[in-house]
Amino acid sequence: MRMIEQQGALYGVVLAGGTGTRLWPLSRAGHPKFLHPLTGTDASLLQATVDRMDQLSSSDRVFVVTGVAHAAEVVRQLTEVPADNVLIEPSPRDSCAAIALAAAVIARREPEAIMGAFASDHLIADKAQFTRVIQQAMGGARQGLLMTLGITPTRPETGYGYLECGSVVGDGPVMAVQEFKEKPTYDVAESYVKSGNYLWNAGMFVWRVDVFLAELSRQQPQLAAGISRIAQAWDSPAREEVLGEVWPTLPRISVDYAVMEGAATVGRVGTIPGDFGWNDVGDFHTLGEVLVSDHAGNVVVGNEADGSKAGVLLRETENLVVVPTPGRLVAALGVRDLVIVDTPDAVLVCPRDRAQEVKSLVDALKDTDRLHYI
Amino acid sequence: MRMIEQQGALYGVVLAGGTGTRLWPLSRAGHPKFLHPLTGTDASLLQATVDRMDQLSSSDRVFVVTGVAHAAEVVRQLTEVPADNVLIEPSPRDSCAAIALAAAVIARREPEAIMGAFASDHLIADKAQFTRVIQQAMGGARQGLLMTLGITPTRPETGYGYLECGSVVGDGPVMAVQEFKEKPTYDVAESYVKSGNYLWNAGMFVWRVDVFLAELSRQQPQLAAGISRIAQAWDSPAREEVLGEVWPTLPRISVDYAVMEGAATVGRVGTIPGDFGWNDVGDFHTLGEVLVSDHAGNVVVGNEADGSKAGVLLRETENLVVVPTPGRLVAALGVRDLVIVDTPDAVLVCPRDRAQEVKSLVDALKDTDRLHYI
């Protein structure tokens, strides 16, 4: 990672949690989505998320928050991130606690630091535009706003939350966010898209750590007090003991509910519409839409577009999303619009337009007590 | 296997050769079709072929002709067949040499023995009817005819040879075979089926060994002489040496071309129409047609019809043919009319109606030098 000027550089916080059951059988409890090379290159989603910040931050300013189950693999994948920047949650406490911990640890180093919080399992096609948007968001953050990145919606998606935009702040490009809207029905989503006044809530945030922690104290005093206790012990021998004692008492709540909704109500949230090819890699169909395909629309994940390096043999196939596994061959003949995912112990076949329902297979495996496949 | 009366019992000869490339990736050069449990039970096709003769023969009268690559596995699967009844060809020499060797070895034990020759990789649904038909064929064989079993055609299949029937012999049910017809075009096959005078050539033969060997001498003197030399050395210390010297000189020719066509021309071939649910398990679609399916038409091969014992998870699927592999899971959601075959190192997905083209994938693997998958 390139070292950029220290003054004003971003602290990048990567949230490496969640399993991604709609990406089963690739994504497992033991090896979740963000650890997999679903990027069209050899890089995992996690690695790509860190690499993406190389014009904004420096390696020593990149933090990762992850759980005990995956911390070792996270450290192994992120060779340039200092070990002490990997913050390991003793148990899952949702995004507010994770983000607050990172903010508090960063604040000890630089009280008015600007941090960005990013999911570890999203794809972004246009890095240059992403960099520009984050720099604009950092401008809003310097003015004391909690910035959330909004994505200009391209369809009436019912799987995302929305941001209702207000007026432009100053000369722009920052816009005020009036209200956070939960996942809408299709009709409501359609009206949002038509109005032109709503953005998808992509769950990426940029703010000054002191501003965020103050808003946390105002809205979530218990959580803020707990994080404060942990932060005070962070650089002392008592870190593990205090973390182990306090962390389990923190409320499980998302940062949207805990802080952002209430902050928007009092006019403290801003956004930048971010048109940088954002994709949340929610399922294999979506993944296939953003990766490079061959002339017949087939996408082979984790390998060259023509599948030449991968263990695949495709003959008269169209619009497949194929995920091969090392040392095994996926052969397909005369099929189209299918997802075929191969792993060392399970293979999945389903139509691309039902890729979201893969989650139901995971439920069925639970119901039939085949937990080793989950 | 039940011991039946020695006098007049059948010598059953099982031809365990061929790889079955249309059943790739299950059937491999190293583990061909006949060794696999494609029967709807735990039995392999080979084991089922031997078991099927238990009302006709006795274990000590069952012979198997196989190649050096698979002999060990054949012996292991057929625990009741005497080791000396497993005839191992030093190299592949097509069906005439294999059948002639068995006939000559049997003739040394019982000169006028009746032998039946059967492929090791066919399925037969109605064993009782099969037993009756073979007993009728043995009647024809006793009269000095070379009997070939004919299957009443159910469709204008272009993948099989046909038998043109002549008049009924005596009081029946034996019918004379006028001519062997090679694989026809679709139009010709249609005319055969309409005429009612043609049967599929299933490649199952019943005859007296002396009658067959005489006809072999008449039509294939070189091959007959070679087999005679081998047979004379069979029960001596010179067996291996003579076999190794003579076998490679034998012509590669099928028994149909070498003997049966010429014998039919001179009126020495008879047939019994055999309606016992014959299936040559030529491809996975065909296999799916003969095995028990669940209520939605899904067939899980090698396991209970409902897949309960197998590593499968089928959700809203129809008319699948699924071949799982031990220790792995095949999950399918919302797909129909597909073949899904999983093996320890490769998985195949194709539509049932293109199952015959699987052979082309094997060719493609050869062309791309991925020989370890073949």
Task: Check pLDDT > 90 for residue A269.
Answer: yes
Identify residues of B whose CB sits under 8 angstroms from chain A CBs.
25, 313, 315, 327-335, 338, 340, 342, 345-351, 354, 357-358, 360-361, 364-365, 368, 370, 373
pLDDT, mean of residues A184-190: 95
State how far the alpha carbon of B120 is from the alpha carbons of B15, B23, B51, B64, B337, in Å: 6, 15, 11, 9, 28
Separation in Å, CA of A161 to nearest CA in chain B:
28
CA dist A305 and A294 (Å) reads: 6
Separation in Å, CA of B371 to nearest CA in chain A:
12
Report cis status (omega within 30 of 0) of the bond before B221. Answer: no
The dotted CATH code for A11-279 is: 3.90.550.10
Higher per-residue pLDDT: A137 or B42: A137
Report cis status (omega within 30 of 0) of the bond before B153. Answer: no
- H/E stretch holding B342: strand B338-342
- The pair of structure tokens assigned to B297 is 């038409």
Separation in Å, CA of A329 to nearest CA in chain B:
4
Q: Give chain B's mean pLDDT.
A: 91
A330/B338 touch (CB, cutoff 8 Å), yes or no: no
Kindly tell me the burial class for residue B288, based on how many C-beta atoms sit within 10 Å of its own C-beta (0-12, 13-18, 19 or more): buried
Higher per-residue pLDDT: B340 or B19: B340
Each residue of B89-123: pLDDT tens digit? 988 899 999 999 999 999 999 999 999 999 999 99
pLDDT, mean of residues B343-364: 94
**Contact at 8 Å (CB) between B333 and A357?**
yes
pLDDT given for residue A308 in this prediction: 47
Nearest to B194 by CA among B151, B156, B165, B149: B156
Each residue of B132-185: pLDDT tens digit? 999 999 999 999 999 999 999 999 998 899 999 999 988 889 999 999 999 999
Each residue of A68-100: pLDDT tens digit? 888 889 999 999 999 989 999 998 899 999 999
A61-64, long-range: CB within 8 Å, 24+ apart, which pairs?
A61/A9, A61/A10, A61/A11, A61/A12, A62/A1, A62/A11, A62/A12, A62/A13, A62/A14, A63/A11, A63/A12, A63/A13, A63/A14, A63/A87, A63/A102, A63/A105, A63/A106, A64/A13, A64/A14, A64/A15, A64/A16, A64/A120
Minimum-distance CB partner of B349 among A349, A360, A365: A349
Task: Check pLDDT > 50 for residue A1.
Answer: no
Minimum-distance CB partner of A361 among B333, B357, B373: B333
Q: In this predicted structure, which of A27-36, A100-109, B41-50 has the lowest mean pLDDT? A: A27-36
Domain boundaries, chain A: 11-279, 292-373
pLDDT given for residue B2 in this prediction: 44
Higher per-residue pLDDT: B166 or A19: B166
Nearest to A361 by CA among A372, A351, A374: A374
Each residue of A37-54: pLDDT tens digit? 888 788 999 999 999 999
Percent of chain A whose pLDDT exceeds 90: 73
Nearest to B26 by CA among B47, B48, B44, B14: B44
Bridge partners, residue B297, by sequence: none
Task: Check pLDDT > 80 for residue A4.
Answer: no
**Contact at 8 Å (CB) between B347 and A330?**
yes
Task: Check pLDDT > 70 for residue B309.
Answer: no
Report cis status (omega within 30 of 0) of the bond before A351. Answer: no
pLDDT, mean of residues A177-195: 95
Under DSSP, is residue B139 helix (H, G, I), strand (E, B) or coil?
Answer: helix
CA B103 remoteness from chain centre: 17
pLDDT given for residue A61 in this prediction: 97
**Contact at 8 Å (CB) between B133 and B53?**
no
Beta strand B146-151 pairing with B269-273? parallel
Question: ipTM greater than 0.95, yes or no?
Answer: no
Q: Give chain A's mean pLDDT.
A: 91
pLDDT, mean of residues B249-263: 95
A350/B334 touch (CB, cutoff 8 Å), yes or no: yes
CA dist A75 and A73 (Å) reads: 5
CA dist B75 and B81 (Å) reads: 8
